[in-house]
Amino acid sequence: MKNTKKMIDINEISKLAKLIRYYILISTTNAGSGHPTSSLSAVELMTVLLFGGFFRYKVADPSFCNNDRLIFSKGHAAPLLYSLWTAAGAIKTEELLTLRKFKSRLEGHPTYRFPYAEAATGSLGQGLSIGLGMALNARCIDILPYNTFVLLGDSEMSEGSQWEAIQLASHYKLGNLIGIIDVNGLGQRGETLYGKNTSEYEKRISAFGWKTLTIDGHNISEIADAYKEAFKATEEPVMIIAATLKGKGFSIFEDKNGWHGKTLSKEQAEIAVKELGEIDKDIRGKIAEPEIIEPAVQKIDFEEIKVEDNNISTRKSYGIALVNIFSKFSSMVVLDAEVSNSTFSDIFKEKIPSRFFEMFIAEQNMVGVALGLSLRNKIPFISTFAAFLTRAFDQIRMSRYSNANIKFAGSHAGVSIGEDGVSQMGLEDIAMFRTMPDSVVLYPCDSISTMKLVEKAARHFGNVYIRTTRMDTSLVYSSDEDFVIGGSKVLKESKKDIASVITAGITVHEALRAYEELKKEGIFIKVIDLYCIKPLDKKTINIAAAQTKFILTVEDHYAEGGLGEAVISALEAPCKFKILAVRKIPLSGKPSELLNYEEISKDSIIREVKKIKSDLKIES
Amino acid sequence: MKNTKKMIDINEISKLAKLIRYYILISTTNAGSGHPTSSLSAVELMTVLLFGGFFRYKVADPSFCNNDRLIFSKGHAAPLLYSLWTAAGAIKTEELLTLRKFKSRLEGHPTYRFPYAEAATGSLGQGLSIGLGMALNARCIDILPYNTFVLLGDSEMSEGSQWEAIQLASHYKLGNLIGIIDVNGLGQRGETLYGKNTSEYEKRISAFGWKTLTIDGHNISEIADAYKEAFKATEEPVMIIAATLKGKGFSIFEDKNGWHGKTLSKEQAEIAVKELGEIDKDIRGKIAEPEIIEPAVQKIDFEEIKVEDNNISTRKSYGIALVNIFSKFSSMVVLDAEVSNSTFSDIFKEKIPSRFFEMFIAEQNMVGVALGLSLRNKIPFISTFAAFLTRAFDQIRMSRYSNANIKFAGSHAGVSIGEDGVSQMGLEDIAMFRTMPDSVVLYPCDSISTMKLVEKAARHFGNVYIRTTRMDTSLVYSSDEDFVIGGSKVLKESKKDIASVITAGITVHEALRAYEELKKEGIFIKVIDLYCIKPLDKKTINIAAAQTKFILTVEDHYAEGGLGEAVISALEAPCKFKILAVRKIPLSGKPSELLNYEEISKDSIIREVKKIKSDLKIES
């Protein structure tokens, strides 16, 4: 269902564009910082879109499922975004003047706090991937006729992530995705890579299978025609490449270099505003109403997987769990970066193919797509090797500021992957995911706990990271064990414990082996499976610290930002401790050789515990 | 200077290709893991290159400045790389059979431990950027005629980083960069994005301004002709797009799906080897000698910058320091991701333009280029906002395994940037750079310490991160102060100190203000400037802990993996502590408002110290 409106009122659009220019100017001048020039170049492009009858949106209900979606990938054009919604009557002029003030919803770059910002942006080159996720949702999941528009800066087209999105959008034939590049030719510090040469964008983007439309981005009729033309596409994503002038409308900075992120003083603004001529400050633009329609309800038949033997790897358990929890979470979507036979998300792909989408080897775009899906109320589970999730750290970080609900699974954690060597080992993933506000970081040690925690991850709203192990592991838990986010399990304890070994994942097995050997020598340790590294079970940790007076942490991860630092920084009373972690650059070798080499194996734990015992003797 | 050899000995190349196939098979079968099929598809492409007279390299001296460079971007084809050098006589067959064994130089994916691996690879989509750095070095710095070749997998072409490299190579007209895509059509889990459709690559890559040559990747003459043709390019980078068969040469897996990363059993290998026919195991390939020529010595005249007033931001001090240390480090190169007027690397650009290269907004490629330059003995200083360095975490991580010597500068650290909001704030950068083995993490608080530490960074071999602040800061140090990597400064101390406040960067100023206010009330604190967060000055920290019994850390960074966790995990004896860090999602606002909001300001420090004092009273 494409919009069929034929004519737009050029006079009205011009008046609105003038008002929006005025808003951009006064709001940034009032704030004393911001990006007026980058906002001004896209005024006509956005005014025609929103108020020319092309964009369909229930202003009273930003979350409405069939609203068109508009993402400002060039997030620094936030003053334009806020001005548009002021001109739409959605926010008041007084609020517009809170731009960039402490606790205002109108932040320097859009975040989830502004309801008309479809996604948080400001780190460039991310909006197209997010839009792709929303367009994919419309086409393949919700089966809704809404369109997704992404306003792009020309400078940000040099981000590789853009080309990941461009290549995938044509692969999935997303004719409902429309990008608009505001080619003002000036980046932050001078001319962009291709300057005003719109043909350079045209050539490259059309080579990737997109329909391209090159226009004058300040000509209202041309813009309207471009949207009409764009709506004719069904299987080709469309890129409108618009030649514009940075700072358009005000001679002080129009098309001039050196004005990026600079605002006018009150005096300069007063003079500049006069160039606009008469401004109708009471005019409000009308946004077309979307079709009232509900998402398709898909009946997906599938067979749950019966697991005969649970002595399997946690990565495989992850794949099985995806299938087995699907009946409870019908909004699940699974994405993978071309390693589904390693992460075992291919188990889901095989059983529920309509909810599996191949993202190919392009992790940044995968996270962006997941964010787009998440913002359209899906629960995306995305997977690749833990090491390769580092590729998308910027997208991961930014997703939080869109209030994302993404489940990240990183397989092949740590040196225990063995022979493939260090490039394939996730050794920074715990640190990376811990930095994210309110994130959940899970690291199960066996099949049962993995399956239960995958379900808990789906139930929890927010970003969750699940760390899985390559090799098969034996069962630690029985099938009736319960796991909670923020929990841990005391696996071994006695009144004679001289230390608490706190660990997770693969090294739980090392700790349990150490326990058995030490026990034979009459040495007792508490063993805690910290399957949830964030939020941390501070209570259990502090009780253990009080009881045993020594905390020994063990992890198959670099020491920095890992489980050990998380545990030690949560101690509420002084306590002795030691952190066993990966501290040498790992090599290729057998898993057992590498665990030993890095001193995180059973033998290292035994050695440390014996040191603790001998120190105790000396002290007593 | 291009190679002009006209004829190659097809018979000899065939024999060598056969031997190399044999080596790939026996080494992977012996290892029991690895990627024989991905290696086999590129055998002719690499055999012709190395032994057909095209590649010029002093086998006895891998570090020779005018050697051609060959990067295996598809690092999983490591068995081919090792087999090639075995066939070249550089390593013995016995060593080849140590593939993937513990402590062997022949790791599962190439690392710096194998001298003929130009760079560590294995995380896909990174080799072309590294090659670009080496090609840029040849053209613009060392002025040497060597060529840089990059063997690429077809699957990895979906990584956005490839397109960043592709766009920049044509921008810099690097006709000395030759990519070779091994289009075997099969990825890890099935068909690649474009399968065997070589025209899809041709279309896209030529749109980016490259010369493309599409050939049969198993036809020795066609391959030789392609290299000859490639050598004719002067200003266009060249991509050879080669149609190949995965697993070529052995019917058991040739062109068959499901064989990625799978090896043959001894029995299967024995049968397979017979398909090769007679193998001449004594034949060795000869690699052409490079021209013996030294790098150009460039006389670069520039004027040092006199700083009148040092009450400037640390980011600006970074820019000034780059210029002022250049006379001591003539191999310096400065790269920036289109924000040089924010990071202040534009100060260097203005003074020493021949050593400044604009990387545009493409951080992944920037790190790859820096690695390539570093591996050609340059000292690259690269900069962008600290937040946007997260974009390149995978490249940063991998660079360590190439023994990189890169200086990363991240500006706009923390909430103290103010109004621009959270998307622009570096809040995870300390955690990220701390994870890297042997990394140095510097966070100076004033202009003097910044300038001194930039020089120390240049002098130190290895990866160094320098964190800078947006706003101007007053001087803490005098110009005769010395700073060392691994050091810290005790700024305030007395015998009456009730706590040690350990901090760095912007919050040093908050701590000093807190000190002054507390002193007026007769409360004394030790204040330590931990300008080097890694390696950590454990000695000073532990002395402070012993003296004051309470450690209070303060940082403008998320709590996880930051300065606080670094300090606390370095305590050698139990000690009370508290970590003040960013714990709420930051907003837009004035720096002071945000420092207060996050409870890392002077007031928060005073509040915490008073709590410590009141607890002390209760205890006594």
What string of DSSP letters covers A452-485?
HHHHHHHHS-S-EEEE--SSB----S-TT----T
Q: Which helix (H) or strand (E) holds B296?
A: none
- Closest CB to A338 among B103, B187, B421: B187
Contact A160 B427 (CB under 8 A): no
Task: Please count the other Cβ atoms lying within 10 Å of the Cβ belonging to residue A613.
Answer: 17
**B5 has pLDDT over 90:** no
Q: What pTM was estimated for this model as a whole?
A: 0.98
Integer Cα distance of B388 and B426 in angstroms: 8
Identify which of A273, A275, A246 has the alpha carbon closest to the alpha carbon of residue A22: A273
- Are the C-beta atoms of residues B352 and B381 closer than 8 Å to each other? no
- pLDDT range class, residue B6, cuts 50, 70, 90: low
**Token pair for residue B76?**
């999983």
Runs of H (alpha helix) within A208-299 = 220-232, 266-274
Q: Count Cβ atoms within 10 A of the Cβ of residue B274 and give its class: 0-12 exposed, 13-18 middle, 19 or more buried.
A: exposed
Contact A423 B207 (CB under 8 A): no
What residues 564-603 of chain B have any CB closer than 8 A to a CB of chain A?
A: 564-566, 568-569, 573-576, 579, 583-585, 587-590, 593-594, 597
What residues 271-330 of chain B have any CB closer than 8 A to a CB of chain A?
A: none
What residues 28-57 of chain A have any CB closer than 8 A to a CB of chain B?
A: 31-34
Q: Count Cβ atoms within 10 A of the Cβ of residue A611 and give its class: 0-12 exposed, 13-18 middle, 19 or more buried.
A: middle
B185-237 pLDDT per residue, tens? 999 999 999 999 999 999 999 999 999 999 999 999 999 999 999 999 999 99
**pLDDT for the residue B2:** 47
Integer Cα distance of A528 and B603 in angstroms: 38
Task: Please count the other Cβ atoms lying within 10 Å of the Cβ belonging to residue A33.
Answer: 16
**For testing contact with chain B, the best of A391, A400, A433 (most B CBs within 10 A):** A391
- Closest CB to B419 among A33, A111, A164: A33
**Number of cross-chain residue pairs from A and B with Cβ atoms under 8 Å apart:** 313
Residue with tokens 């893991």: B33
The stretches in chain A having pLDDT less than 50 are 1-4
- Are the C-beta atoms of residues A552 and A608 closer than 8 Å to each other? yes
3-class DSSP assignment, residue B8? coil
Contact B204 A207 (CB under 8 A): yes
Integer Cα distance of B75 and B80 in angstroms: 10
Catalytic pick among B236, B363, B565, B598: B363
B389-412 pLDDT per residue, tens? 999 999 999 999 999 999 999 999
> Chain A partners of B397 at a C-beta cutoff of 8 Å?
387, 390, 428
Contact B160 A161 (CB under 8 A): yes
Catalytic pick among A363, A510, A555, A598: A363
Integer Cα distance of A133 and A308 in angstroms: 36
Integer Cα distance of A206 and A202 in angstroms: 6
**B7 has pLDDT over 50:** yes
**For testing contact with chain B, the best of A390, A411, A578, A594 (most B CBs within 10 A):** A390
Which one-letter DSSP state was computed for residue B191?
Answer: B
B156-193 pLDDT per residue, tens? 999 999 999 999 999 999 999 999 999 999 999 999 99
Active site residue B254: no
* Distant-in-sequence, close-in-space partners of A352: CB < 8 Å, separation ≥ 6: A300, A302, A323, A326, A334
- Closest CB to B574 among A156, A360, A574: A574
> Chain A partners of B570 at a C-beta cutoff of 8 Å?
none
**pLDDT for the residue A413:** 98
pLDDT > 90 in chain B, percent:
98
**pLDDT for the residue A179:** 98
Identify which of A82, A169, A159 has the alpha carbon closest to the alpha carbon of residue A123: A159
CA geometry: angle at B492 spanning B488 and B494, to 5°?
120
> Chain B partners of A362 at a C-beta cutoff of 8 Å?
158-160
Task: Please count the other Cβ atoms lying within 10 Å of the Cβ belonging to residue A61.
Answer: 11
Q: B469 — phi, psi (to 5°)?
A: -110, 150
Nearest residue on chain A to B163, alpha-carbon basis: A160
* Distant-in-sequence, close-in-space partners of B300: CB < 8 Å, separation ≥ 6: B326, B330, B352, B354, B355
- How far lies B305's CA from each of A110, B281, B539, in Å? 39, 63, 36
- Are the C-beta atoms of residues B489 and B501 closer than 8 Å to each other? no
- Closest CB to A189 among B159, B192, B340: B340
What residues 352-371 of chain A have any CB closer than 8 A to a CB of chain B?
A: 360-365
Contact B584 A422 (CB under 8 A): no
Runs of H (alpha helix) within B376-442 = 386-389, 393-400, 429-434
Residues facing B382 on adjacent strands: B335, B408
Q: Which helix (H) or strand (E) holds B460?
A: none
B489-507 pLDDT per residue, tens? 999 999 999 999 999 999 9
- Closest CB to A103 among B108, B583, B587: B587
A61-66, Cβ contacts within 8 angstroms, sequence gap of 24 or more: A62/A115, A62/A116, A64/A290, A65/A142, A65/A144, A65/A146, A65/A293, A65/A294, A65/A295, A65/A376, A65/A377, A66/A144, A66/A145, A66/A146, A66/A290, A66/A291, A66/A292, A66/A293
> Chain A partners of B123 at a C-beta cutoff of 8 Å?
387-388, 391, 423-424
CA distance A16 to chain B (A): 27
Mean pLDDT, residues B420-433 taken together: 98
What residues 113-172 of chain B have any CB closer than 8 A to a CB of chain A?
A: 113, 120-125, 155-156, 158-164, 167, 171
